[in-house]
Structure 1
C-alpha cells in the first residue's frame, strides 16, 4: 500500500450492540438468540466478531428503568432484561484485547465520584479502552426509580450534566501520571506533590476528592455524547470527543457536522479532536432484492401494539394508541424528554406524509437513524459519500438482529471498505484513543507546573 493511502483519513466504526438486535422484532427472527440479553457468551461472541473486523469500539446504551409501562407491548419485546453495561464491559475486557469499550451512564441519576471511579477502573482493567457515553436521562420511568415524582426539566438536566462532567474530569486528574513511585527502598508509595485534591463546590455538587484510582492509561476515558438538541450540541462542543447521532439525510448530517465542529474553536478545540458517528442500520444482501427480502421478513414480525408503543415513547411519551393507526401523526406537545429525536420523527412524518403505522414501520429498525438496505457495494457507497462529504467521521453500526446482522456487515461490507482504503486492516495502536486518533489529555496540574496548556476539555482547577 502506498504511503499516501496509508496516511489517508479513514472511517471509524462502532458496533452498537442491543440484546437481540436493533429491530423491534429482532428477537423473533429465526436466527436470533432470543435470550441474549442475559447471556454473557452471546456478548463475548459479538465483541470478538467486531474485534476480528477491527472495529474501533463496541457500545452499549442504557436506561435505569424498564421503559415501557404498557404491559401489552412490553410483554412482546426483548428490551426488558439486560445487563448493567459497565459490569458487562468489565467482563468483556478480559475476552478482548484491542476493541474499545463504551457504556452509557446518565448524569441525571448518578453521582460524579462513582462514575469517575468506575470508568477509570475499566480503563485500567482493559489497558486503556474505556469510553463514557455521557447522557441526560429522558424518561419519567427512570425518575420514578430515584424518588422523583416527575422527571427533572430538560434545561436543568443539561446544567447538571455540564457540572457533572467538570467534576468527573477533575477527579480523573487527581493524580499525575507518575505519582505512584512505589519505592520499596525509600518507603515512599506515592509522591505527595503529585496528588491534587479537587475541592469542587458548585450548584449541584460538592465533591472533595481525590479519586482513589490512579490516573488511567488513556489519561481520561474517551468522552462520548448522544444529544443533538441545542443544549446537547453546546455541551458536546465543550466536552465530547465522539458524538453518536441520528440523521435521516446527508444534508441533515452535513449541517450538523458543520454546526458542531464550528463551535469547537470557542473552547480552544480542533475539529479533528471530535468524531461524529451517526447510527446506521444496515440490511446486507448479495443482491438488492435479497436485502429487501431480509428486511421485509423482519417487518412482518412487528406486532402493531409494539409499533405504536415504540412510536409513543420516541415522540415524547404521548399515548398514540388513542389515535387511528392509519391516520396522520397528530401535532404533539413539546417533550421534556428527548427533544431532538421527537423533532426528527415529526419532521419525517410531515415530509413524507406518513400515518402512524407508516412511521412506526419506518423506525422499527433504526429508531430514527439512517436505514440502508442493499449490497455490500451500495452500502459502502453510501458510507463513503457521507464520510467524504463531511457528514460523518464514522458510523455506529446498528445490526438488525444478532449475531447474523453483525456477521453480514463484518464479512461483506467491511472488506469492501478495506478494499477502498477507507478502513483499517489491522489495529495500529492499543487504546481507544489510538483507534480514534484522539490526543491523550494532559493532566491539568502537571501542565500548570510545566507552564503548558492543559487539555481544552479540562475545567479550570478549583
Structure 2
C-alpha cells in the first residue's frame, strides 16, 4: 500500500455552497457574521483531521441579477478572513487556515505583515490564497476608474508575491537571541532591508516582524486560466481548481505539474486540489432526495442570476427556462477557464436554462457528487489514484449539516481504505501537507559564501 495520503481542505461558504443553502433547515442562517458557527465548523473539520479550512473572499459586494434576485442572496455579509482566522486559531490546535487576499487591491507590506502575524498567532498554520480578483465591480472601493485587465493583474501578482516573500525573509531564523545575560536582544546583521523597486511596487522594508514558524505561510492559488496556471507553477504550493470529469482533471494535473521544471521545482512541490461538493445519503435514494430538496429552494430569479457570469449583458427576458439557451456566448479572453468548461458542458449535455442554473447553483461549476459514502469515496479514490488530484477541497452544500455528514460518514470510509490519515503528522500546516519549509534567502547566501 502506498504511503501517499489524500489532502483534504474544507472550503467554507457561510451557509454552504448551494446558492439556496441559507433557506435550508440544516444551515446556520446568519453564519456570515456568527463566530460560534465558524468555531463549530473549524472544530468539526479538525475532528475530521482535515489539513485546512478555506474561505474565499472579495473586496466588495457581488451583485448578481436584478433587485429581486439580489434581495434573495445569502452571501452579502461576511467576516474578513484573516481577522476570522485569528479568532479560530485560539480554539483549535491542528487545522490550517487559508485566507484569500487580492494582489490587485491590497498592499504587499501590509499583507506580508498580516499573514506573518497569523502564522505566529496560529503557531504555523496560516496560508495565503493568492487571487487577482475577477470581480469587475469593486474597483470603485479603491479609487480606481476601472478594473485592471487580466494581463496587468497577473503581471502585478508575480511582482507582488516576490515582494511579500522578500519581506517574510527580513529576519533570518536565528536573528533573535533574547539573551538577558549579555543584554543582546537580536543580531542586526541578520536583519535585511529588501529595497525593492519594480514596475508596480517600490518597497524598502524590512518587515517589523520576525520570521514566522513556517518561514512563509503556505501559498495557494485558485484558478485554472492560462495565466493562473503559470502563476501557480511559479509561486504556489497548492492550487484549487474546478473540473467535473476525470479526463479533464487528469489533463489539468499533467499540465500544471509539467510547468514546474522550468521554475526549478519538483511535481511534489505543488498540490492539486479540485473542488468536490458531496451530497451524502445512507442510500442513493436518500442522497438524491436531499439534492432534489435543495434544488427546489432555488428561486428562478436567483438561478438566472448565476448565469450572469456567462451572459454578462443579457437580461434573460423571454427566455424559456425549460428550453436550451437561445445562444451561447464566446468565453471572455483571459478570464477563468471555468466559464469555458461550463459552456462546453451545457452544450454537450443539452441542458435547459433551468438545468444549467441548477447545475451552477450547487457549487458554481465545481464537481457535485450525489450518493452514499462508499460512492463518494469511490469517486475520490479514482481521481487520487489516477493522477487527477492530490486531494480535494471539500465544498459542503449546506453548513454545518453537510460537513458533519462528511466527517462522520466519508472520512471513516477513506481511512478504512488507507487513503487518509488517522492522526495529524506534524505541528504546522506545511508539515501536515508534506511541504518543505523554505530556507531564508539570506541564510542561503551566507552559506554559499562560507562554502
Please say if 1:390 is aligned against 2:387: yes
For the residues of structure 1 that align with 2:133 and 2:105, how far apart are their CA atoms? Answer: 8
Aligned to 1:101: 97
For residues 77 and 397 of structure 2, the distance between their equivalents in structure 1, rounded to whole angstroms, comes to 18
1-structure distance, mates of 2:294, 2:180: 63
Q: TM-score, normalised by structure 2?
A: 0.96
Query: Is 1:289 equivalent to 2:285 in the alignment?
Result: yes
Match of 2:429 among 428, 432, 438: 432
TM-score using structure 1 length: 0.94
Query: Which residue number in structure 1 is paired with residue 152 of structure 2?
Result: 156
Q: In the alignment, which residue of structure 2 is the partner of 1:260?
A: 256
Structure 2: tracts of 5 or more residues without a match = none
Aligned to 2:354: 357
| 3-state SS in 1 of match to 2:399 | coil
Q: CA deviation at 1:288?
A: 0.4
The CA distance in 2 between the partners of 1:266 and 1:401, in whole Å, is 41
Which whole-Å CA distance do the structure 2 matches of 1:51 and 1:174 have between them?
32
Does 2:46 correspond to 1:21? Answer: no
How far the C-alpha of 1:319 sits from its partner, in A, is: 3.2
Residue aligning to 1:192: 188
Q: Which residue of 2 aligns with 1:372?
A: 369
What is the CA–CA distance in structure 2 between the aligned matches of 1:451 and 1:399, rounded to whole Å?
Answer: 48
Give how far 1:334 is off. 4.2
- Decide which moves more: 415-424 or 31-40: 31-40
Q: CA deviation at 1:333?
A: 4.6
Equivalent pair of 1:12/1:393 in contact (CA under 8 Å) = yes
Instruction: For residues 384-434 of structure 1, give each alpha carbon's deviation from its aligned partner in whole angstroms, at most 9, with x where no partner exists.
Output: 000000100000000010111001100000000000010001111011001
CA distance in 2, matches of 1:427, 1:156: 41
Q: Which residue of 2 aligns with 1:401?
A: 398
Q: Hey, what's the Cα distance between the residues in 2 that align with 1:21 and 1:289?
A: 22
Residue 217 of structure 2: aligned partner? 221
Retained in 1: the 8 A contact 2:281–2:372? yes
- Give the CA deviation at 1:323: 5.7
In structure 2, how many angstroms separate the alpha carbons of the residues matched to 1:196 and 1:294?
Answer: 57
**Match 1:78 to one of 74, 82, 99:** 74
Equivalent pair of 1:138/1:337 in contact (CA under 8 Å): no
Secondary structure of 2:155's partner?
Answer: helix
How far the C-alpha of 1:346 sits from its partner, in A, is 1.1
- What is the aligned partner in structure 1 of residue 378 from structure 2? 381
Measured after TM superposition, the shift of residue 339 of structure 1 is 2.7
- Is 2:309 aligned against 1:298? no
Partner Cα separation in structure 1 for residue 412 and residue 14 of structure 2: 25
Structure 1 residues without counterparts, runs of 5 or longer:
453-462
Q: Which is further off, 179-188 or 410-419?
A: 179-188
1:206-245 equivalence runs, <5 A: 206-245=202-241
Q: Per the alignment, in what secondary structure is the counterpart of residue 395 of structure 1?
A: strand
The separation in 1 between residues aligned to 2:75 and 2:438, in whole angstroms, is 36
Write out aligned runs for 1:280-359 (5 A). Answer: 280-313=276-309, 315=310, 317-322=312-317, 324=319, 325-329=321-325, 330-335=327-332, 338-359=335-356
Q: Write the distance in 2 (CA, Å) between the matches of 1:51 and 1:298.
A: 27
Query: Deviation per CA, 1:363-390, whole angstroms, max 9, x where unpaired?
Result: 1111111110000001000000000001
Does residue 55 of structure 1 match 2:46?
Answer: no
Q: Alignment partner for residue 113 of structure 2, among 82, 99, 117?
A: 117
2:170 to 171, 174, 185: 174
Q: Do the aligned residues in 2 keep the contact of 1:309 with 1:321 (CA within 8 Å)? A: no
1:410 is matched with 407
Confirm or deny: 8 A CA contact 1:316 1:342 kept in the other structure. Answer: no
Q: Is the 8 A contact 1:278 1:392 kept in 2?
A: yes
Distance in 2 between residues matched to 1:335 and 1:94, nearest whole Å: 43
Whole-Å separation in 2 of the counterparts to 1:195 and 1:366: 46
- Quote the offset at 1:149 in angstroms: 2.4
Aligned-residue offset at 1:159: 0.4
Within 1, Cα distance between the matches of 2:416 and 2:332? 45
CA shift at 1:185, angstroms? Answer: 2.4
In 2: Cα distance, 1:424 partner to 1:97 partner: 16
In structure 2, C-alpha distance between the alignment counterparts of 1:153 and 1:397, rounded to whole Å: 31
**1:46 alignment partner, one of 34, 41, 47:** 41
Please state whether the residue corresponding to 2:207 is helix, strand or coil. Answer: coil
> How many residue pairs were aligned?
446
Change (3 A) 1:318 1:355: farther
Q: CA 1:323–1:369 in 2, change beyond 3 Å: closer, same or farther?
A: farther
Shift of 1:65: 0.9
